[in-house]
């Protein structure tokens, strides 16, 4: 679990649900380059990474670490600020700060909220954390917006995410692009939508199952 001055918003019940599901939680930081223990999963919650953008950008070692872990198939779940960190860059007042580069999109900080309020998201595509068809009741609160053009599904724009890259269709709320949220790659899932474990009782068990499967493969 990332917990530092950049990412710190977690529902306590979400962490408790992971523990009940069998996870052993450890805290890591994306702001300093201290070594991390061996991980079987990574949870990046919300926060205000824009307030730490320069420090996050300067910490190349952790940016590369997170990108490598994502490429290796580590189960990674990110919400809002965590999603912003996993992007290619974060634009603040005209300056683009490089982030982890897991997703080929940039987020831009805006003066007014870009998503605010309760949301409903339908799970439309396979992912390790939420079964297809599930209706997620969550919330959005973000001043950033996703800067990208939606690529054609299976089309000739490999640098852009197509609709097939998004697991969630927003029935209420904004999401990332064109009413879509839940950007995925390998075992990484990132969304502007925050969930509460009591409203998504499957989530913790699925996260821990994905972490266990990764641990067995790694051994």
The residues carrying an active-site annotation are: 80
Distance of alpha carbon 42 from the chain centroid: 10
Distance of alpha carbon 121 from the chain centroid: 15
Distances (CA, A) of 203 to 23, 28, 99, 111: 13, 21, 26, 33
Tokens 């529902």 -> residue: 11
Tokens 């297809």 -> residue: 132
């Amino acid at each position: 679990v990332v917990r530092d001055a950049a990412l710190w918003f977690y529902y306590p019940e979400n962490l408790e649900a992971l523990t009940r599901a069998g996870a052993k939680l450890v805290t890591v930081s994306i702001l300093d380059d201290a070594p991390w223990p061996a991980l079987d999963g990574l949870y990046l919650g919300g926060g205000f990474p824009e307030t730490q953008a320069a420090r996050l950008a300067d910490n190349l070692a952790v940016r590369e670490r997170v990108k490598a872990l994502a490429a290796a198939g580590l189960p990674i779940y990110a919400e809002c600020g965590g999603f912003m960190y996993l992007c290619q860059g974060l634009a603040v007042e005209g300056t683009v700060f490089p982030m982890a580069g897991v997703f080929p999109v940039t987020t831009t900080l805006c003066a007014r909220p870009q998503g605010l309020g309760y949301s409903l998201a339908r799970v439309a595509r396979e992912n390790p954390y939420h079964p297809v068809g599930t209706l997620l009741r969550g919330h959005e609160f973000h001043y950033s917006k996703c800067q990208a053009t939606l690529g054609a599904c299976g089309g000739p724009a490999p640098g852009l995410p197509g609709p097939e890259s998004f697991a969630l269709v927003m029935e209420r709320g904004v999401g990332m692009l064109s009413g879509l949220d839940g950007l995925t790659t390998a075992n990484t899932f990132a969304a502007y939508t925050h969930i509460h474990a009591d409203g998504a009782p499957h989530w913790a068990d699925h996260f821990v199952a994905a972490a266990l499967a990764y641990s067995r493969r790694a051994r």
